[in-house]
Amino acid sequence: MSSFNSTLEYLFAQLPMYHRIGEAAYKANLDNTQRIMEVLQHPHQNFLTVHIAGTNGKGSVSHSLASILQQAGYKTGLYTSPHLKDFRERIRIDGKMIDKKYVTDFVQKNKQELETIKPSFFEWTVGLAFQYFKDKNVDIAIIETGLGGRLDSTNVITPVLSVITNISLDHINLLGNTVAKIAREKAGIIKPGVPVVIGEHDEATAKIFEQFARKNKAPIVFASQNFTVRKSITKIKSGTTLKLDVNKGKKKLYEKLQLDLTGDYQLKNVCTVLQSVEVLQEFFKIKPRDIYAGLKSVSASTGLQGRWQVIAGKPMTVCDTAHNVAGIVMILKQIEQNKFKQLHIVIGMVNDKDIASILKIMPPNATYYFCKPNIPRGLDAEQLLIKAQAFNLKGKAYRTVKLAYNAARKSASQQDFIFIGGSTFVVAEVI
């Protein structure tokens, strides 16, 4: 019997995973996934699903919904990507990662037949997740798209609810170079008769979503038009929760709702989550106490990490997986709310991002520690330094994330602030 590690090596080698090598691994059709579902006898048809797409926030929304459903007593599957530390983070039930033996047995059992299909790493993983959720008899599974929507391997499901968090520019080489083009790709998860929640109303994309919904006779609602969320406290320290007051229209809906994800951008995500819960209450018994308890324990219940995560104090040290302009803008705003003497930024990026647009908005008065995340897509630290110098960003290049982080810790005083980010894969190396 194969070991778990050798099984993972086999999976990673299958038309290599997009998150490691980029565009060469992207497959723009659902043919393989549909054939895999036939081989596995359509496991995805044995449980209810919620399908979540979007440029930013889909991970936070997915985990938050899973936490609430768990609190409501439902056996909840959760499929997300990429993983930070452990491949098994991608597939969870009630917060617990998939068993190593199940992964190994699944690959051994299906290897011969699936190899005739030549599935990618992601397609293999989708098949594994759906089979696991079926075998473990989940009540519902929250399924996050990997990339895009229309042609994403997860888009073989017919969910009870589709969610699109927001749209901004990311993966433009694959999804399109305008928000309208990207919106059309994400809108591909809208299914006939299935209600759809759009997190943020934006004039540039709203008509596209409404057009897709009308064509599919799918009820559509924009969360940001119904819910408003504000912080009831402003200063966030390590170990605290974000306290929120929520209105629906002019009516106060929740007071002092606590969220253990403390990034300010979570206010938008909470609107999306609450709107989604309102739709899901047609299918599930979800009480206010489940919402309170679920949002207060998202990280504890689901294992979510890397979202404005405080990893050290004195100096205050925060990491976040934001990796595109829209995400970085939100991060920089939150950094500005903190009092500190000097800002230190440990940053690494992957080579297929719009690097110039991100560097352009970075603060020139910070001290930078440029590094390369340990994946083939990682941009060489020296190259990143050269690109950054064109925008008057000052710092040094380091061969690894660890060396960069250690240098920042050594240079910073207790009154300074250290931020680590630029890529999911940079964050994975420090948490």
Per-residue pLDDT tens digits for 181-192: 888 889 999 999
pLDDT surpassing 80 at residue 171:
no
Higher pLDDT, 169 or 340: 340
Q: In 136-242, which ranges are continuous DSSP H helix?
A: 172-175, 179-186, 203-215, 223-226
- 121-135 helix and 4-12 helix, angle to the nearest 10 degrees: 130
Tens of pLDDT, residue by residue over 130-148, are 999 999 999 999 999 987 7
- How distant is the alpha carbon of residue 92 from its chain centre? 15
Burial 130-143 (b: 16+ CB within 10 A, else e): bbbbbebebbbbbb
DSSP class of 281: T
In CATH, the number for domain 309-428 is 3.90.190.20
Secondary structure of residue 349 in the 3-state scheme: coil
**pTM attached to this predicted model:** 0.92
What does the alpha-carbon distance between residue 94 and residue 77 come to, in Å, rounded to a whole number?
Answer: 6
Q: Work out the average pLDDT over 227-252.
A: 77
Side chain identity at 248, as an amino acid letter?
Answer: K
Q: Work out the average pLDDT over 188-215.
A: 94
Is the domain covering 4-302 a CATH 3.30.390.10 domain?
Answer: no
Closest residue by Cα to residue 124 from 36, 46, 210, 186? 36
Q: Work out the average pLDDT over 327-338.
A: 93
Q: Work out the average pLDDT over 3-24.
A: 71
Query: What pLDDT is stored for residue 351 in this prediction?
Result: 85
Q: Work out the average pLDDT over 348-361.
A: 90
Tens of pLDDT, residue by residue over 77-111, are 999 998 999 999 999 999 999 999 999 999 999 99
Can the peptide bond before residue 16 be classed as cis, meaning omega within 30 degrees of 0?
no
DSSP class of 45: G
Which position has the token pair 């819910």?
227
Domain boundaries, the chain: 4-302, 309-428
What does the alpha-carbon distance between residue 123 and residue 146 come to, in Å, rounded to a whole number?
Answer: 10
